[in-house]
């Protein structure tokens, strides 16, 4: 398929720790088409961030890809020589992070930083780069972009800083933008602005967007498809509307119900909490990793390995999904 931008197959990632090797991503399959938005949803320790760092080639030193493939526009990134991989992932894919203040250099004006990013990708004069930087600031809807070029990061609000980071990420006209919790540190009214901006930019530029978040509410507004991760695996994936209307994995259903909502039947009374807590890597139960917390657990759930199976448009990792109505 020529529209396929990213195709991750059977990805395994391990970390070396003082207690020995730990597998934190355990056989992940994901793909994104051109112009599509895929959201990876998961709680801390689910492996969502590590998966995306491996796509960018940014795994910390202790982390290693132990198996599988990451095809970007038809080329397996893992098999590429480092220099070629850097060239490809430096220009055609970009990533933005949760905390823009720590990703920007406090000692340089934002215009210089964006211009530097542009000159990394293209051979242009400093003057041209500054002009492009101004265009990029206008693209991310920053008012008075020519004035803002001369601001230092601390002179901008959190929302403006995240816009600057998005502008830098777009400097190389990427085909894939990875956004790791880009609105989590922002106030809710500013979060709404940034989500709208990302959705607009994706429409305008036709890039693929891989959006990582713990917030199911954020996903609902932005993603075409969603992949729910738990303990290093994808446990359910499918079109956002289908997964939200009819979750087929008890973890997805539990997650959806535990979010406090403002209206509807669950708006008052007790929240539907999921009992227990996520397993630590290296201390996974046999069978389904969610089994110890699952209200629908049966003996069968704790045996063997459980594969992702197709149910209509969804892929679900659950032995009991056929018999359960979780919607």
Partner 1 sequence: MSTPLLSIQNLHVTFPAAGGETVKAVTNVSLDIQAGEVFGLVGESGSGKTTLGRAVLQLVPPTKGRIHFDGTNLATLDRAGLKQYRTRVQVIFQDPFGSLNPRMSVGDTLAEAAALVESKADTPARVRELLDLVGLPRDAAARHPHEFSGGQRQRIGIARALAVRPELIVADEPVSALDVSIQAQVVNLLQDLQAELGLTLLFIAHDLAVVRHISDRIGVMYLGRLMEVGPANAIVASPSHPYTRALLSAVPVPDPAMQERRQILEGDLPSPIHLPPGCVFSSRCPQADNACSDSVPDLIPIAEDRVCACLQVSEPAM
**Binding of residue 268 to partner 1 (CB under 8 A):** yes
275 binds partner 1 (CB under 8 A): yes
Give yes or no for residue 312 binding partner 1 (CB under 8 A): no
CA separation for the pair 238, 230 (Å, rounded): 15
Pairing of strands 233-239, 225-230: antiparallel
- Rg over CA atoms, the chain: 21
Q: Which stretch binds partner 1 (CB under 8 A): 75-83, 169-177, 255-263, 317-325?
A: 255-263
State which of residues 215, 292, 302, 324 lies at the interface with partner 1 (CB under 8 A). 215
Of 144-152, 170-178, 193-201, 302-310, the segment contacting partner 1 by CB under 8 A is: 193-201
Residue closer to partner 1 by CB (options 118, 142) is 142
Minimum separation from the CB atom of position 129 to partner 1 (A)? 27
Q: Is 307 in the site for partner 1 (CB under 8 A)?
A: no
- State which of positions 79-108 bind partner 1 (CB under 8 A): none
What does the CA dihedral 273, 320, 39, 54 come to, rounded to 10 degrees?
110
Distances (CA, A) of 220 to 97, 209, 243, 244: 20, 14, 10, 8
**Based on CB atoms, which residue is closest to partner 1, 263 or 310?**
263
The answer to whether the CB of 211 falls within 8 A of the CB of 39 is yes
C-beta closer to partner 1: residue 4 or 185: 185
CB-wise, 62 or 259, nearer to partner 1? 259
Q: Classify 118 as helix, strand or coil.
A: helix
Q: Does 254 bind partner 1 (CB under 8 A)?
A: yes
Separation between Cα atoms, residue 289 and residue 286, nearest integer Å: 7
Cα distances from 169 to residues 53, 117, 307, in angstroms, run 15, 8, 36
Q: Which is nearer to partner 1, 293 or 320 (CB)?
A: 293
With a CB cutoff of 8 Å and minimum separation 6, the contacts of 92 are 72, 73, 172, 174, 175, 176
What tokens does 277 get? 């807590």
Contact stretch for partner 1 (CB under 8 A) within 9-17, 95-103, 155-163, 315-323: 155-163
- When asked if residue 295 is in the footprint of partner 1 (CB under 8 A), the reply is no
The C-alpha atoms of residue 174 and residue 95 are separated, in whole angstroms, by: 10
- Site residues (CB under 8 A) for partner 1? 43-44, 157, 159-160, 187-193, 195-196, 214-221, 240-241, 244, 254-256, 258-263, 267-268, 270-275, 277-278
């Amino acid at each position: 398929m020529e529209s396929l931008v990213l195709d991750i197959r059977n990805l395994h990632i391990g970390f070396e720790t003082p207690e020995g090797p730990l597998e934190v991503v355990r056989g992940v399959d994901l793909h994104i088409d051109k112009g599509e938005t895929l959201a990876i949803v998961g709680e801390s320790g689910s492996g969502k961030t590590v998966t995306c760092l491996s796509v960018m080639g940014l795994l910390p030193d202790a982390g290693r890809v132990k198996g599988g493939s990451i095809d970007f526009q038809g080329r397996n990134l893992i098999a590429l020589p480092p220099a070629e991989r850097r060239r490809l992932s430096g220009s055609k894919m970009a990533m933005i992070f949760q905390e823009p203040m720590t990703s920007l250099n406090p000692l340089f004006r934002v215009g210089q930083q964006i211009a530097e990013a542009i000159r990394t990708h293209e051979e242009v004069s400093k003057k041209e780069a500054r002009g492009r930087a101004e265009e990029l600031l206008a693209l991310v809807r920053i008012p008075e972009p020519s004035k803002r070029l001369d601001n230092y990061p601390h002179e901008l609000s959190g929302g403006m800083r995240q816009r600057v980071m998005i502008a830098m990420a777009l400097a190389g006209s990427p085909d894939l933008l990875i956004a790791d919790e880009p609105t989590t540190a922002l106030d809710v009214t500013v979060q709404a602005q940034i989500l709208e901006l990302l959705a607009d930019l994706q429409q305008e530029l036709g890039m693929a967007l891989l959006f990582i978040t713990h917030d199911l509410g954020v996903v609902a507004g932005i993603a075409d498809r969603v992949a729910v991760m738990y303990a290093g695996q994808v446990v359910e994936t499918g079109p956002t509307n289908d997964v939200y209307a009819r979750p087929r994995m008890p973890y997805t259903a539990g997650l959806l119900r535990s979010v406090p909502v403002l209206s509807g039947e669950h708006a008052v009374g007790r929240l539907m909490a999921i009992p227990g807590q996520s397993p630590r890597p290296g201390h996974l139960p046999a069978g389904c990793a969610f089994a110890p917390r699952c209200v629908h657990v049966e003996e069968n759930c704790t045996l063997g390995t459980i594969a992702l199976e197709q149910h209509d448009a969804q892929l679900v990792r659950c032995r009991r999904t056929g018999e359960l109505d979780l919607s």
